[in-house]
């Protein structure tokens, strides 16, 4: 079974040891692209789609516990998913996948959440 194959225990995304602050890598989860990122407070799996303009987030940067969109430079908090400019400009927060640790990997069940869970 490939490293990221879905099983009853979930989909393995990446070995925990490889996911250090600043990490950002795209994965396919049930036909959707997901960006696994790691800020200073840990890993988050987010939809690879900016809520502001619908552009891919791949290529963005993690700094501290924030993520900067590569297209327009919007900065999103990795705990809440909110950009300070979001409410005034009418767009919502990032979307998170349910994420947990199992057998040395970050794992997801493909279920979207409003807030991160690890």
Distance CA 28, CA 79 (A): 22
CB 38 within 8 A of CB 62: yes
Positions of E strands within 1-55: 6-7, 10-15, 24-29, 32-39, 42-47
Neighbours of 30 (CB within 10 A): 10
Domains of the chain: 6-108 (2.102.10.10)
pLDDT in tens, the chain (118 residues): 445 554 447 899 999 999 999 999 999 999 999 999 999 999 999 999 999 989 999 999 999 999 999 999 999 999 999 998 888 888 889 999 999 999 999 999 999 988 886 5
Neighbours of 103 (CB within 10 A): 9
Q: Among residues 1, 43, 13, which one has the least CA distance to residue 110?
A: 13
């Amino acid at each position: 079974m490939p490293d990221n194959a879905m099983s009853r225990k979930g989909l393995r995304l990446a070995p925990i040891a490889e996911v250090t602050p600043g990490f950002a890598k795209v994965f396919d989860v049930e036909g959707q692209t997901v960006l696994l990122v790691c800020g200073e407070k840990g890993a988050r799996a987010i939809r690879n789609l900016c809520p502001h303009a619908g552009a891919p987030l791949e290529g963005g940067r993690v700094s501290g516990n924030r993520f900067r969109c590569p297209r327009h430079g919007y900065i999103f908090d990795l705990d809440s998913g909110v950009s300070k400019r979001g409410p005034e400009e009418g767009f919502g927060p990032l979307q998170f996948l349910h994420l947990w640790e199992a057998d040395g990997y970050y794992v997801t069940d493909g279920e979207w959440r409003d807030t991160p869970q690890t």
